[in-house]
Each structure stands twice: as C-alpha cells, then as structure tokens.
Amino acid sequence: MKSEPLIIACTSDFAGKVRGKAFPQDEFEKRLKRGVGWTPTNVQITCFDAIADSPYGALGDLVLIPAPETRVSLDYQDERPAEQFVFGDILHMDGRPWECCTRSLLKSALDRLRSVAGMSLHGAFEHEFHVKDAACPLGSAYTASGFRMQRPLAEQLLAAMHSAGLKPDTFMKEYGRDQYEVTMGTADGIAIADHAAVLRELVYVTAERNGIHASFSPLRDPAGVGNGVHMHLSLRDSAGNPATYDPDGKHGLSEKAGQFVAGVLKYLDRIVALTAPSVVSYTRLTPHRWSAAFNNLGLRDREAAVRICPVSQVSGVPIEEQFNFEIRAADAAASPYLALAAVVHAGVQGIEEQLGTPEATEEDLSLLSAEELAKRGIVGLPGTLEAAIDALRSAEIIGDWFSAEFQDVYVRHKLGEIDFLKDKSEAEICAAYEAVY
C-alpha cells in the first residue's frame, strides 16, 4: 500500500527528551500558522514515562508551532521511510510563549543578553555518547581501530548533519567503553541549541538505521566514564564582530566576556539542576572524572567548570575568531535550550552586576581545605540532584530570570524523576538512565 509522508513537530522538554506530534507533509505550510495541539501536563512526563505531580491536571490547551529553519528531511535510501522532523515553540492559544516552553525560554534569555549588553551569542555544543551494543575490545580508547568499528555510523552521521544544515567537525573514539564524541561547527543565537537538539536525534536515528543503539546517558556505570555536553560559547557585538577576546584582558577575556563568565560561575551551583539534571549527573560531577565539581575557571583544565579553550597560532584563523570559553558542568539529560538559557541568564547577571573576571585555578581543588576554597570564593557544586533542586528553588534570583510557574513545575518534574528511582541501587539507576537516554 502507498504510504503518506509525515513530519513530526517536536519540542525538547524538561526531561531533555524530544516529544512531538506528526502531521502530513503536504500540510507543512498550514502548520506554520496552525501548529499542532499540545497538552500542558505533557511537560511532566519524566524521562521514565511517569507523570510527575502536575498543576495542570487534565486541563488546558496549547499549540506547538514549527520553526521552519529547524526542519530536517533525511532519506537514508533504505527500505524505511525518510526521517522528517521539525522543532518549534509552544504557545498559549492567544500566541503568547508558554512559560514552560524551553525554546521560548532561551529566546527570552538571548533577548536579555541583547538588551543588557548589546551582544549576541555564538557557539556550539560538543557531545559524547556511547553505543550500547558495540563491545569495543580493551585498548580501543582514542584508537583508529575503535573508530573503524563505527565508521559506517560516523560517515552516515556526517552526511546527515550536512543534509540537516549542520556543519560537521570531528568524530572520534573517546576514552570510555564504546564511547564516541561528535563535534560540529558554530552557529548564532537560538540555532546553537537548535543544532544540538537536531544532532542528538540524528545520532539516534542513524544508529538505529545501522542496527545499533546510542545512549547519551550521563553515566552508564558508577565506576566508569560518563557522557558530557560541553557548551563552547563566545560573544558577538551588535555588528556581529567577535567580542570575547582582548589581548590585554585577564586570561585574554574582554571586560564583558569576563563579567559573563563570572556570572556563570557565581550562579552555577544554583543552575546546575538545569544543566545537569539527572540523578547520575552528580556521580559524574565529582573530582577526577574530567568533568566539573567546583565553580572554578581554568585555562587548560578539563576539570574546570568553565574552561578558556586554547587557540592555534598556525591555523591562519584570527585569534579573536577562535577564542571561546567552554561550559563543562552539563550533560544530555538536559534540554539544550533550557541548559543554554540558564547559562545565558547567569552570564547576563554577571554583566549587570559588573563582576570582575575570575582568577583561574591551576591545582586539584579537591585537595584544598574548605577554608582555602572559601577564601578564593570557590564552592563545590551540589552533590546530588536533590541538593541541586534545593539550590535552584531557594535562589531568589532565579525568579527574576524565569517565571514562578516554570520554577514550580520544573521542581515537581525532577522530584517525580527522583521518586521513580527510590529503592534502586546505583547500578540499577545507571542502567535505567542508559535505557532512556
């Protein structure tokens, strides 16, 4: 029987999951105005498909409007239908952005950056994932042989990225068991998160087309290496020129960039529930895992929460074009829109408060006393998701960035996720996250 192509209108929600509703391909132009219907309580579906306590119940109606610039159409030239999806914004029926739409929340944060500092954001997300059924032999870390085990996935994925309007950069066998890393070229504004959301779906679908299964879980094994998401960011002025680098600035940061980084670090312990929002995120965010355990700045330190990335003197690319900082206290349990919105708000707060550029640390902070850390203004990040949620809801400043409705609904969502995992061992919890991400 003849089939009719469908496009899935998608949202990246509080669980970092991509959910949506499909409509006929030939209705695309109509749906740009009409959208598809959406239910408020959908936002309380946790990553484990349990519905957390919802203030909406069975009431309410919303509309998900596709953003045409995010449309993806991929024909893998096999016996299966082409993959078609598009991300969008969730609105009230009168057209107002819904308070819990992650894409709308990022738009608001970027508008604030533009209003306060006259600047825009430039950057890209770097992703790590693992193949659940690959079984790379011991000795495969960073190797060509480890790469070759997934060459078909890598080459099809890069073709899919090109087709979707993303700029492929690198693909490599990472350190962890069956772990890989994929990076992409930079984008501006909302497209930074759009491309991150699209990439994750491309990894999933391309792996499936190759008969394997990918997982972005922050941690598959309590004793193993976790998957992180690194946000590489820089600022642009109102004319679109690089505005992050200053050769005379501390650590090479311009005044505004230094203030932005200082804001991220000042508020990181209160926003990490948005950037690293799973229970296993906090096993990963501990010392000596090449992640982040403190709110520190580092120059070439891959355990710093924010790292100033090195620049190449031989690339032929001007330093100001290369210069960026990397947010490392994040993973793919978070919606890229929500994680980036939290970082932008914290950074803009630093600009508003005219904070000074932080000092960079150069030692193992886990060896320092509490007194020495406090003297330097360094705090440890929350040790559990519960502690991170407590920090989020006790921070009055968060209410200035997001609505009270958002804060209440998000906390309920995460408490529902935690409740689902009660009485499970650490290994069982890791297995549960590996299955859903």
The CATH number of the domain holding residue 67 is 3.10.20.70
Is the residue at 1 inside a domain? no
Quote the domain boundaries for residue 305: 104-436
Same domain, 59 and 33: yes
SS3 content of the chain, % helix, strand, coil (to 5): 40, 20, 40
Is the residue at 233 inside a domain? yes
Same domain, 85 and 198: no
The pLDDT of residue 69 is above 90: yes
Query: What sign for the dihedral angle of Cα 344, 194, 234, 288?
Result: positive
| pLDDT at res. 365 | 85
Same domain, 147 and 16: no
| pLDDT at res. 290 | 85
Same domain, 158 and 27: no
Instruction: Report the 10 Å Cβ neighbour count for 255.
Output: 15
Here the tokens at position 266 are 């000042």
Is the residue at 193 inside a domain? yes
| pLDDT at res. 411 | 97
Same domain, 265 and 367: yes
Same domain, 114 and 94: no
Same domain, 223 and 173: yes
DSSP 12-37: E-TTS-EEEEEEEGGGHHHHHHH-EE
Is the residue at 301 inside a domain? yes
Mean per-residue pLDDT for 96-103? 98
Q: Sorting pLDDT into bands at 50, 70 and 90, what band is 366? A: confident
Q: What CATH number is given to the structural domain containing 316?
A: 3.30.590.10
Number of domains in the chain: 2
Mean pLDDT of the chain: 95
Q: Sorting pLDDT into bands at 50, 70 and 90, what band is 266? A: very high
The pLDDT of residue 59 is above 90: yes
Over residues 194-238, the pLDDT tens digits come to 999 999 999 999 999 999 999 999 999 998 889 999 999 999 999
Rg, C-alpha atoms of the chain: 21
Residues 6+ positions from 229 with CB-CB distance below 8 Å:
125, 126, 127, 128, 196, 216, 330, 331, 332, 334, 336, 339
Strands 297-298 and 306-308: parallel
Same domain, 150 and 260: yes
Same domain, 155 and 118: yes
Among 60-64, 269-273, 367-371, 381-385, whose mean pLDDT is lowest? 367-371
Same domain, 108 and 91: no
Question: Exposure of 340 by Cβ count < 10 A (0-12 exposed, 13-18 middle, 19+ buried)?
Answer: buried
The pLDDT of residue 313 is above 90: no
Same domain, 401 and 289: yes
* Through-space distance between the first and last CA atoms of the chain, rounded to whole angstroms: 34
The pLDDT of residue 128 is above 90: yes
Q: Sorting pLDDT into bands at 50, 70 and 90, what band is 315? A: confident
Is the residue at 214 inside a domain? yes
Q: Sorting pLDDT into bands at 50, 70 and 90, what band is 312? A: confident
Q: Which residue has the tokens 């890069």?
A: 158
